């Protein structure tokens, strides 16, 4: 008798959950149908990043999605006519758009949410063409009126779309070095540009003294620039910023300086 009663309770419990599930499904489907049947009341473009610059504006975003103008906007039309995914893909074809998300709120307002790509370096090719490079190794077109202060790299020859393993290693070094320089106002002011040699070694041109600073194939930037800082303090005491034409930081615990074809080796520069 107890077993039969327990079985009936189990069956009733299952039926109850089925009814609850069916009710929730019905409400969800009804809400979706109601939402898609609603008329679009307006469009809101928003940028979900905290960048201090803006390489895209609201009008450019709208023009990317609806290139034929305001007559093609979905305002006053059924939400069901808006292919959200297709429009997101269309937006993401803009090189400056990292991610796009379209959705409709409870007020039938269509939101176009944009995440902008973040450039970390300005690069120049052998031919003189210029691009921005972001931390995902994407080349971004320079736009008229761009005013972003970033480290500059010259002789950039990598095509990220067909990058070899060596190219990827080089781009990783470029990005890491650029990010390191940006953390220190001294190096942002002092480093004029970084040249990429054909063998992928790096060398920097500086503002004071106009020396060429050899960085080679190193990537331990904090150690290298600490050695350079110590050397600059030493030069600053002498007051002769044109003393050396070349400074080589590639060697462990040494800085090799060249002046008028004469070579000077400073050992353990961090201790001087």
Percent helix, percent strand, percent coil in the chain, to nearest 5 = 40, 25, 35
Q: What one-character DSSP code corresponds to residue 172?
A: H
pLDDT of res. 26: 46
Higher pLDDT, 96 or 236: 96
pLDDT of res. 253: 79
pLDDT over 70, % of the chain: 82
pLDDT digits (tens, 9 = 90+) for 172-184: 999 999 999 999 9
- CA dihedral of 144, 148, 153, 154, whole degrees rounded to 10: 20
pLDDT digits (tens, 9 = 90+) for 107-149: 999 999 999 999 999 999 999 899 999 999 999 999 877 778 9
Walk me through the domains of the chain, giving residue ranges and CATH numbers: 42-116 (3.10.20.310), 119-271 (3.40.50)
pLDDT of res. 232: 85
Cβ-contact 264, 238 below 8 angstroms = no
Tell me the pLDDT of the chain averaged across its residues: 84
Task: Evaluate if pTM is beyond 0.95.
Answer: no
pLDDT digits (tens, 9 = 90+) for 194-248: 999 999 999 999 887 778 999 999 999 999 999 999 888 888 777 777 778 888 9
Element (H, E) at 113: strand 109-116
């Amino acid at each position: 008798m107890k077993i039969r009663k327990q079985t009936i309770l189990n069956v009733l419990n299952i039926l109850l959950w089925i009814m609850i599930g069916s009710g929730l499904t019905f409400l969800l489907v009804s809400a979706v149908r109601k939402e898609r049947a609603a008329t679009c009341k307006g469009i809101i473009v928003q940028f979900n990043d905290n960048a201090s610059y803006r390489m895209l504006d609201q009008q450019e975003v709208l023009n990317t999605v609806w290139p034929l103008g305001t007559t093609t906007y979905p305002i006053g039309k059924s939400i069901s006519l808006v292919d959200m995914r297709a429009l997101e893909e269309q937006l993401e074809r803009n090189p400056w758009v990292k991610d796009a998300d379209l959705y409709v709120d409870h007020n039938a307002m269509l939101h176009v949410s944009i995440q902008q790509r973040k450039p970390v370096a300005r690069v120049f090719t052998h031919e003189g063409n210029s691009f921005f490079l972001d931390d995902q190794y994407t080349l971004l077109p320079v736009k008229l009126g761009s005013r972003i202060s970033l480290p500059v790299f010259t002789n950039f020859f990598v095509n990220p779309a067909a990058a070899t393993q060596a190219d990827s290693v080089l781009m990783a070094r470029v990005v890491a070095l650029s990010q390191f320089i940006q953390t220190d106002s001294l190096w942002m002011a002092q480093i004029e540009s970084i040249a990429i040699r054909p063998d992928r070694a790096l060398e920097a041109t500086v503002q004071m003294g106009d020396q060429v600073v050899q960085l080679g194939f190193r990537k331990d930037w904090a150690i290298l620039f600490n050695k350079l800082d110590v050397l600059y303090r030493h030069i600053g005491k002498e007051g002769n910023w044109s003393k050396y034409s070349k400074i080589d930081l590639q060697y462990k615990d040494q800085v090799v300086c060249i002046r008028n074809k004469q070579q000077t080796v400073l050992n353990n520069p961090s201790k001087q």
